[in-house]
Amino acid sequence: MPKIEMPDDFYAQTPEANARATEAVMNTIKTADLLFDRIARLLRPLGVSAAGGLVLGILRDRGPMSPSELGERLIVTRATVTGVVDSLERRGFVRRSPNPADRRGLVVEITPSGRVVLQQLRTLVHRHEQTWLSAFSDAELATYIDTLHRVQDGVSAAVDETE
């Protein structure tokens, strides 16, 4: 697979930029896209999208919650939540019910069928994650995770400053 690298005239085009920062961002996005694509392929036979798998995992681990709470916890946009929950509900993996704390709202909860498919999904994905990252030691993975957290914090802080 070709590597993403900046052109030799990068600084002539954008002298105030940082070629390494641009290269890092572009490679991070490429890596995320590649992982989402591979995970989607793995989950297709189970009838669950990557976002659907995240929803099932959150509901199993955290318990029933409102669609807006799901939106806050997901790695996808809030606009995606309704479609994902609709799809999971059609397959019998989640159910919506009135929110006892707010009569106008709903809560979403995982069903027994959703728990079964989630276990299959997690087993499948986690096995592949080990293979995908097998070139790293546990110490290197810890450093990588710390680095990703620092990137996430930097991006979040920058967004907060511009809003």
- Give the SS3 label for residue 146: helix
- Enumerate the domain spans of the chain: 47-132
Q: Residue 139: pLDDT above 80?
A: yes
Task: Kindly report the pTM of this predicted structure.
Answer: 0.78
Other residues' Cβ atoms within 10 Å of the Cβ of residue 19: 14
Q: CA–CA separation, 125 vs 53, rounded Å?
A: 10
CATH class, 47-132 region: mainly alpha
pLDDT in tens, 41-76: 999 999 999 889 999 999 999 999 988 889 888 866
